[in-house]
């Protein structure tokens, strides 16, 4: 189907195309001008298949007509046939490597395929050839926005507006990357019910802040009631975004443990994202690897966790992670224990996401009741509700079936506000 943004940008440059058509009319004959006029008329009425048929008829009569091939590339892209459109654009670029319209058209195709780096290179090349073009700046803003470089995208859209104050796409672009909230304050509560001991509870308060374009901080405090004891945990972490596809996080935690939570923790994680485009069933993937060290009164634990999130059509996602834990208790040799978790997230409504998950093993190594000596299977699900643009509610429920006929039922919820 035709892309609304690409269509609007191209329609806004029709005047330029018409001038080029008039020049070619004087040099290339009435026949060439006629087919271009017919194509523009069909495009203006959004009759894309009819316009494509006219361009293809022209190519059958004049296979070396690069203007017709350029139009065919444009129309193929608007029809959703991006792979064919890319081939056509590249053929034209071999004959006219400095044609800024063709450079921008190919950039549109690559941007739709989420090949952001390649699209950005073409836009920058067009910008060098045509330095004061509102349409080039709009495309540059779109590419930067897709790459997560909001501040640069905002500057590009504003530059486009300065060059062409009535450019609707530039105005919409500025609004789309308006500086949003930089902080998220979240409060949550968890309740655990056991069939073999007293119930537990915990309350968490956290603050996540974007310190700069590449730096994010996250600080939290959790207050526990466990095994008749009151314990408190404080943690802090920093995330550095190396590029729009790579990020590194590291942090620590310290606690007034009371013998029921770790005395100290240290952790780090590295994540890498990949985009495959909409041509594939798997649209993208995030791979990560994390390590965590936990120090208890009578135990030392280190965990190794590779994880993958697969992005599927219609905004579904599937996560799989595996944890290998090495535990050392006084007087005993170190032992290794595996665990795994899988989660499927499904959009239920424009503002509501649901998820279901399953875990097996001793999967939560931050709790003394889940260290080392039993096996468990956990089933659960949750909801995330965007109450308003800057507010969010989350909830979950989980049931854990352990060995020795022991069970645990957990529920939790949290509320976040962004400012």
Return per-residue pLDDT of the chain as tens, 419 residues.
444 444 444 544 443 444 444 444 444 445 566 899 999 999 999 999 999 999 999 999 999 999 999 999 999 999 989 999 999 999 999 999 999 999 999 999 999 888 999 999 999 999 999 999 999 999 999 999 988 888 899 999 999 999 999 999 999 999 888 777 889 999 999 999 999 889 999 999 999 999 987 899 999 999 999 988 999 999 999 999 998 889 999 999 999 999 889 999 999 999 999 988 766 889 899 999 999 999 988 889 999 999 999 999 989 999 999 999 998 877 778 888 889 999 999 999 989 999 999 999 864 444 444 444 567 899 999 999 999 879 999 999 999 998 888 999 999 999 999 99
Give 136's contacts (C-beta < 8 A, 6+ positions apart): 100, 104, 123, 126, 127, 130
227 and 128 in one domain? no
189 and 163 in one domain? no
Domain count, the chain: 2
**Token pair of 295 as six digits:** 């120090």
What distance in Å separates the CA atoms of residue 272 and residue 285, rounded to the nearest whole number?
A: 8
Instruction: Choose the final residue of a domain: 146, 176, 206.
Output: 176
Q: Is 113:81 a contact under the CB 8 Å cutoff?
A: no
219 and 146 in one domain? no
- The predicted pLDDT at position 362 comes to 65
211 and 270 in one domain? yes
What distance in Å separates the CA atoms of residue 299 and residue 261, rounded to the nearest whole number?
A: 11
**Token pair of 316 as six digits:** 């579904």
349 and 263 in one domain? yes
Instruction: Choose the final residue of a domain: 176, 193, 222.
Output: 176
- The predicted pLDDT at position 28 comes to 47
195 and 171 in one domain? no
CATH number at residue 402: 2.40.160.40
- The predicted pLDDT at position 200 comes to 94
- The predicted pLDDT at position 247 comes to 97
213 and 125 in one domain? no
- The predicted pLDDT at position 347 comes to 95
162 and 188 in one domain? no
Work out the burial of residue 315: count CB atoms within 10 Å of its CB; fewer than 13 is exposed, 13-18 middle, 19 or more buried.
exposed
pTM of the predicted model as reported, rounded to 2 decimal places? 0.68
Write down how long the chain is. Answer: 419
Give 270's contacts (C-beta < 8 A, 6+ positions apart): 246, 247, 248, 249, 288, 289, 290
What distance in Å separates the CA atoms of residue 139 and residue 146, rounded to the nearest whole number?
A: 11
228 and 160 in one domain? no
CATH number at residue 160: 1.25.40.10
**Token match 């966790």: residue?**
305
- The predicted pLDDT at position 14 comes to 43
What distance in Å separates the CA atoms of residue 364 and residue 305, rounded to the nearest whole number?
A: 12
**Strand, coil or helix: what is 203?**
strand
108 and 47 in one domain? yes
133 and 240 in one domain? no
- The predicted pLDDT at position 58 comes to 93
Q: Output phi, psi for 394, to 5 deg.
A: -130, 155
**Token pair of 343 as six digits:** 């989660």
Selection from 368, 338, 357, 366 nearest residue 400 by Cα: 357
Which residues lie across from 381 on neighbouring strands? 356, 397
Work out the burial of residue 270: count CB atoms within 10 Å of its CB; fewer than 13 is exposed, 13-18 middle, 19 or more buried.
middle
Residue 404 domain boundaries = 183-418
State how far the alpha carbon of 304 is from the alpha carbons of 40, 319, 327, in Å. Answer: 59, 16, 12
255 and 128 in one domain? no
Instruction: Choose the final residue of a domain: 142, 176, 210.
Output: 176
Degrees to nearest 5, angle at CA 41 with 38 and 47: 100
Beta strands in 296-406 (DSSP E): 300-311, 317-328, 335-349, 352-361, 376-388, 391-402
Degrees to nearest 5, angle at CA 255 with 250 and 256: 175
- The predicted pLDDT at position 110 comes to 94
**Token pair of 86 as six digits:** 């890319």
**Strand, coil or helix: what is 47?**
coil
Give 92's contacts (C-beta < 8 A, 6+ positions apart): 66, 69, 70, 73, 99, 102
What distance in Å separates the CA atoms of residue 338 and residue 28, rounded to the nearest whole number?
A: 73
**Token pair of 309 as six digits:** 């999130």
- For the chain, the straight-line distance linking the first and the last C-alpha, in angstroms and rounded, comes to 37
């Amino acid at each position: 189907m035709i892309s609304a943004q690409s269509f609007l940008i191209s329609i806004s440059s029709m005047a330029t195309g018409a001038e080029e058509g008039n020049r070619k009319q004087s040099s290339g004959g009435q026949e060439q001008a006629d087919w271009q006029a017919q194509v523009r008329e069909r495009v203006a009425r959004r009759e894309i298949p009819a316009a494509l048929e006219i361009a293809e008829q022209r190519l059958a009569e004049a296979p070396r007509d690069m203007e017709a091939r350029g139009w065919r590339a444009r129309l193929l892209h608007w029809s959703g046939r991006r792979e064919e459109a890319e081939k056509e654009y590249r053929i034209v670029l071999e004959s006219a490597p400095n044609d800024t319209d063709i450079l921008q058209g190919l950039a549109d195709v690559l941007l739709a395929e989420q090949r952001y780096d390649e699209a950005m290179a073409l836009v920058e090349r067009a910008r060098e050839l045509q330095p004061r073009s509102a349409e080039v700046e709009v495309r540059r803003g779109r590419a930067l926005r897709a790459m997560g470089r909001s501040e640069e995208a905002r500057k590009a859209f504003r530059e486009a507006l300065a060059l062409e104050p009535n450019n609707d796409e530039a105005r919409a672009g500025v609004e789309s990357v308006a500086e949003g909230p930089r902080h998220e304050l979240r409060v949550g509560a968890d309740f655990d019910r056991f069939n073999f001991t007293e119930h537990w509870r915990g309350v968490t308060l956290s603050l996540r802040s974007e310190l700069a374009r590449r730096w994010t901080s996250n600080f939290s405090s959790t207050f526990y009631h466990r095994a008749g004891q009151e314990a408190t945990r404080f943690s802090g972490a920093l995330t550095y975004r190396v590029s729009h596809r790579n990020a590194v996080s590291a942090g620590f935690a310290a606690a007034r443990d009371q013998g029921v939570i770790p005395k100290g923790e240290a952790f780090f994680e590295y994540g890498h994202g990949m985009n495959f485009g909409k041509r594939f069933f798997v649209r993208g993937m995030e791979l990560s690897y994390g390590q965590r060290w936990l120090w208890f009164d009578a135990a030392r634990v280190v965990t190794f966790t590779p994880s993958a999130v697969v992005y599927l059509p219609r905004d579904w996602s599937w996560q799989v992670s595996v944890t290998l834990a090495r535990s050392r208790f006084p007087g005993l040799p170190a032992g290794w224990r595996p665990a795994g978790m899988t989660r499927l997230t499904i959009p239920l409504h424009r503002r509501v996401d649901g998820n279901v998950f399953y875990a097996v093993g001793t999967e939560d190594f931050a709790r003394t009741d889940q260290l080392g000596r039993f096996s468990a299977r956990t089933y659960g699900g949750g909801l995330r509700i965007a109450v308003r643009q800057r507010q969010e509610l989350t909830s979950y429920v989980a049931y854990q079936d352990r060995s020795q006929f022991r069970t645990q039922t957990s529920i939790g919820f949290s509320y976040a506000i962004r400012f």
